[in-house]
Amino acid sequence: MTVPLALMVLALFAAGLAPRVLTRSTWPDREPVLALWVWQCVVGAVLLCCLLAMALSGAAAFTAVRSHVFAGAPHGVAEAYSSSTSTPWAGALSVLLACGGAWTGAMLLREIRDARARRRRRRAELRERAPWLPGESASSSERLVVLEEEKPDAWWLPGANPQLAITTGALRRLKGRQLDAVLEHEHGHARARHDWLLHCSSALATGFSRVPVFAGFRDQVHRLVELAADDAASRRYGRLTIALALVELNEGRGVFGPCPAPVAMVPQRVHRLLAPGPRLSVSRRLRMTAVASLVPVIPILVAFAPGLSALHH
């Protein structure tokens, strides 16, 4: 089997099997940070398979690409790959994968552009509702903005000058350490740069909606980042505190009724905080982290195997 074909089979295998295994497992709810790392490693491995397959198939089909891919390679390495690659389909595969890479880049750029536009729009709305006081300027923009609104809400606005917005309705409903827990939850999103994870997963899922691993990555990332932020807040203020804060913020939205909103995660998050499952042992978490970190290495080993074999002989 040729190396590019082997890489594509590996990518298809990972893209189809990994989402089924991860979505059916129960441990991601107990270890959301570890689950996010596993998802990133799997998606990275799939993308790496496609990138390496594109490079090797392009090298087999086009002399210009071949001269760049094997520039500086020892004698015999290029011949090892040329003997294992079928040129007729190599050109079509490389062009197809190059188009896929260009499409991925376009989707990511569009996601970044849309996210920046949303942030500018929300910042303008914040500034309209909370104008600068005399003596204030854009350079002294505050990190916390309090908005006059009955609806209890709080959210973090990422960007070059991140801001945390909270309504007066939330200030009235949150009691004691509950407010601190909500602020810590939003700070947890900011520290872990969850906005970038959300952008990348959305771009991949938008560009390749029929690929299970990308669709699953987007759906799970939106859920897991909330669980991870809940855990960050609960470690400092306790699970009961953040659970009560979630109830206070969302009680009036109907998510705790008999027919909650289809995308509402709040009841599941509250139940998880009040009745947490046992965490994985430290040794098991370390083993799973190490195994997940090795997943992107597999495509590299497959791609370099013929060259290493040629050097050995």
**Per-residue buried b or exposed e for 247-261, using 16+ beta carbons within 10 Å of the residue's own CB:** bbbbeeeebeeeebe
**pTM given for the model:** 0.86
pLDDT tens, per residue, the chain with 313 residues: 488 889 999 999 999 999 999 999 989 999 999 999 999 999 999 999 999 999 888 887 787 777 777 777 777 777 777 754 456 778 888 889 999 989 999 998 998 898 888 888 887 877 777 766 665 555 545 577 888 888 888 888 877 677 788 888 888 888 889 999 998 998 888 888 898 899 999 999 998 988 999 999 999 999 999 999 999 999 999 999 999 999 888 887 766 666 555 446 888 899 999 998 899 999 999 999 999 999 999 999 998 888 777 777 6
Instruction: Write down how long the chain is.
Output: 313
Helix residue spans in the chain (DSSP H): 3-24, 27-30, 32-61, 63-69, 77-82, 87-129, 168-173, 177-191, 194-207, 212-237, 239-250, 266-274, 282-294, 297-312
Give me the pLDDT at residue 1, please: 47
Give me the pLDDT at residue 165, please: 85
Give me the pLDDT at residue 305, please: 84
